[in-house]
């Protein structure tokens, strides 16, 4: 009989994983403690913006015309324990308040809630990003609390999906990594992932700590790559060089490659910033803090981008923000997402407002979330509305919609034609041809 799968925690990761498991042909039951989220998902509505996910839900939750009915959601942990052969834990591990370390309380609670109801053999698979060493600790906790004892086995299977591409990344990942302690666990996970593996996705089988570390190492590498090119952008600013041309020249070297070399406002979101901090904290506990001191620098280079953006905006406003109107294009931490967690764009908007400017923000998808979190900023329903009367326009999240803006049309509504491109993707010559001062980060000559 086909494996029955449960997914515990239905945020970005869990909702996507549950829908993709149904797409792969499994019967799936998703669990969350938030009844509103469960009601929305059960009705086929996605509580966040993630391209392609709503279509998958409608295709698989019961009650929609032609749906497979394979995907259901519940708030009952007893039902989940009874239903599943494989339980995926997909709850989040945010940064602890006032500390670098990861808050493991949601993962711990998930195991504590599930384990006492496990009365038949099953595999519990952690997908959350956790400090190395957590899986070993959780395996003991699981076996101690579960009525079936060690027949409730643990495995670790880190998730590498990117927001905005979550469905594609889950169905066609670059690689699958599983940390296991038995051949039985490996066999079950091979069964779960039989389709992507048959399509050629590499399947890496390893121990718990290596599996946990792959995730921390991958995110650290990506963050380092971004901060490296942003450090080069700082040097370019002082040397009169152009960081975009520099990155292009570097990318021809196959050992370096061109991805994650876009200089600009730097990284944000619910993963990279908190994951590199949690990794430093964990390395400290393990006595390996020196190995990761470079990540402190990666973090500070990244945070400096935000102050540099504020400086560039101030320069364009003639040296001070008082009485100036600033249009901010973008609120999400990256395009194709409505996620505003640690958003560089909103951080910059907030700083500029504190320094006396009148700031109006527009984002194609993230305005509702931004308004809840930053109610004191003004919001517009379109880019043109945000730019009305602006002394400077800041392009801070690179939505496709902003690349397609007509410089003449925007020029007709602003007070002054001044644009700072925080993502280095707008067509500078086109904006300049329409009479704009175009300033980009790490490209002092591109004015």
User: Which positions are annotated as active-site residues?
Assistant: 271
Q: Minimum distance between the CB of residue 302 and ligand UDX, rounded to whole angstroms?
A: 8
* Count of Cβ atoms closer than 10 Å to residue 161 Cβ: 21
Work out which of 44, 131, 196, 264 binds ligand UDX, going by CB under 6 A: 264
Instruction: From 23-31, 120-128, 141-149, 261-269, give the range in contact with ligand UDX by CB under 6 A.
Output: 261-269
Q: Which stretch binds ligand UDX (CB under 6 A): 51-59, 79-87, 259-267, 401-409?
A: 259-267
Which pair of structure tokens corresponds to residue 212? 């946990």
Closest approach of ligand UDX to the CB of residue 158, in Å = 8
Binding to ligand UDX by residue 50, rule CB under 6 A?
no
Among 141, 162, 190, 365, binds ligand UDX (CB under 6 A): 162
Indicate the residue among 366 and 414 with the shorter CB distance to ligand UDX: 366
Q: Give the pairing of strands 378-379 and 392-395.
A: unpaired
Euclidean distance between CA atoms 197 and 121, whole angstroms: 25
Using CB under 6 A, pick the residue from 30, 84, 268, 442 that binds ligand UDX. 268
Residues in 301-340 that interact with ligand UDX by CB under 6 A: 333-334
Q: By CB under 6 A, is residue 91 in contact with ligand UDX?
A: no
Nearer Cβ to ligand UDX (6/262): 262
CA distance 56 to 79: 23
Of the candidate spans 92-100, 157-165, 357-365, 376-384, the one that interacts with ligand UDX by CB under 6 A turns out to be 157-165
Which one of 261, 317, 327, 346 is in contact with ligand UDX (CB under 6 A)? Answer: 261
Question: Torsion angle, CA of 251/255/257/260, rounded to 10 degrees?
Answer: -120
Return the residue of 32, 85, 163, 338 that touches ligand UDX, per CB under 6 A: 163
Looking at beta carbons only, is 131 or 269 nearer to ligand UDX? 269
Residue 34 vs 342, nearer CB to ligand UDX: 342
Under DSSP, the state recorded for 289 is G
Within 8 A by CB and 6+ apart from 431, the residues are 407, 419, 438
Instruction: Spell out, one character per residue from 208 to 247, where the chain touches ligand UDX: x when CB under 6 A holds, - when not.
Output: -----------x--x---x---------------------
Q: Name residues whose C-beta falls within 8 Å of residue 187's C-beta, 6 or more positions apart in sequence.
A: none
> Which H or E run contains 280?
helix 272-285
* Nearer to ligand UDX (CB atom), residue 61 or residue 441: 441
Q: Which sign, positive or negative, has the C-alpha torsion 240, 244, 250, 256? A: positive
Binding to ligand UDX by residue 89, rule CB under 6 A?
A: no
Pick the piece of the chain touching ligand UDX (CB under 6 A) from 110-118, 249-257, 258-266, 282-290.
Answer: 258-266
Minimum Å gap between C-beta 243 and ligand UDX is 11
Exposed/middle/buried for 139, CB within 10 Å: 0-12, 13-18, 19+? buried
Stated as kind and residue range, the H or E segment containing 157 is: none
Sequence-separated (6 or more) residues with CB below 8 Å from residue 123: 85, 86, 87, 153, 154, 155, 184, 185, 188, 189
Q: Collapsing DSSP states into helix, strand and coil, what is residue 114?
A: helix
Total interface residues for ligand UDX by CB under 6 A: 20
Cα(409)–Cα(119) distance, rounded to whole angstroms?
66
Would you count residue 106 as binding ligand UDX (CB under 6 A)? no
Strands 86-89 and 392-395: unpaired
From 29, 138, 161, 352, residue interacting with ligand UDX (rule: CB under 6 A) = 161
- First-to-last alpha carbon distance for the chain, in angstroms, is 65
Stretch that binds ligand UDX, among 249-257, 260-268, 364-372, 386-394 (CB under 6 A): 260-268
Distance (Å, whole) CA 199 – CA 172: 8
Nearer to ligand UDX, 89 or 146 (CB): 89
- How many C-beta atoms lie closer than 10 Å to residue 324's C-beta? 22
Which residues touch 360 (CB under 8 Å, ≥6 apart)? 325, 326, 327, 328, 377, 378, 379, 380, 385, 386, 388, 390
128 lies in the binding site for ligand UDX (CB under 6 A): no
Binding string, residues 272-291; x marks residues near ligand UDX by CB under 6 A: x-------------------
Q: Is residue 365 involved in binding ligand UDX (CB under 6 A)?
A: no
Q: Which stretch binds ligand UDX (CB under 6 A): 34-42, 99-107, 161-169, 346-354?
A: 161-169
Residues near ligand UDX, by CB under 6 A:
159-163, 219, 222, 226, 260-262, 264, 266-269, 271-272, 333-334
């Amino acid at each position: 009989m086909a494996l029955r799968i449960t997914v515990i925690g239905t945020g970005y990761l869990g909702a996507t994983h549950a829908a993709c498991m149904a797409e792969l042909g499994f019967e799936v039951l998703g669990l969350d403690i938030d009844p509103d989220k469960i009601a929305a998902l059960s009705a086929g509505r996605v509580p966040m913006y993630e391209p392609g996910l709503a279509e998958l839900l409608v295709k698989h939750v019961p009650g929609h015309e032609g749906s497979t009915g394979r995907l259901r959601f519940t708030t009952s942990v007893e039902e989940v324990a009874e239903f599943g052969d494989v339980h995926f834990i997909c709850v989040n591990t945010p940064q602890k308040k006032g500390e670098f370390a990861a808050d493991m309380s949601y993962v711990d609670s998930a195991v504590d809630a599930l384990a006492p109801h496990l009365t038949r053999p099953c595999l519990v698979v952690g997908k959350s990003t956790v400090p190395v060493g957590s899986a070993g600790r959780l395996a003991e906790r699981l076996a101690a609390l579960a009525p079936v004892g060690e027949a409730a086995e643990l495995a670790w299977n880190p998730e590498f999906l990117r927001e905005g591409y979550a469905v594609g990344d889950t169905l066609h990942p670059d690689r699958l990594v599983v940390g296991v302690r038995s051949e039985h666990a490996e066999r079950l996970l091979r069964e779960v992932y039989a389709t992507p593996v048959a399509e050629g996705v590499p399947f890496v089988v390893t121990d718990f700590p290596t599996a946990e570390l792959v995730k921390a190492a991958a995110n650290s590498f990506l963050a380092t790559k971004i901060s490296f090119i942003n450090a080069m952008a700082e040097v370019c600013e002082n040397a009169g060089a152009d960081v975009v041309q520099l990155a292009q020249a570097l990318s021809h070297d196959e050992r370096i490659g061109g991805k994650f070399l876009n200089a600009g406002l730097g990284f944000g979101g619910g993963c990279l910033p908190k994951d590199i901090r949690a990794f430093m904290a964990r390395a400290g506990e393990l006595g390996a803090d020196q190995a990761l001191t470079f990540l402190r620098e990666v973090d500070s280079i990244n945070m400096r981008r935000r102050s540099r953006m504020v400086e560039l905006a101030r320069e364009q406003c003639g040296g001070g923000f008082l009485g100036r109107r600033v249009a901010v294009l973008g609120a999400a931490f990256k395009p194709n997402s409505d996620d505003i967690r640690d958003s560089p764009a909103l951080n910059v908007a907030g700083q500029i407002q504190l320094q006396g400017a009148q700031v109006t923000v527009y984002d194609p998808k993230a305005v509702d979330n931004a308004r809840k979190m930053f109610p004191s900023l003004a919001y517009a329903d379109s880019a043109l509305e945000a730019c009305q009367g602006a002394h400077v326009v800041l392009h801070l999240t690179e939505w496709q919609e902003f690349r397609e803006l007509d410089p003449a049309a925007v020029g007709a509504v602003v007070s002054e034609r001044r644009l700072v491109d925080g993502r280095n993707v707008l067509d500078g010559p086109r904006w300049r041809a329409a009479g704009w001062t175009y300033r980009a980060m790490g490209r002092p000559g591109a004015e």
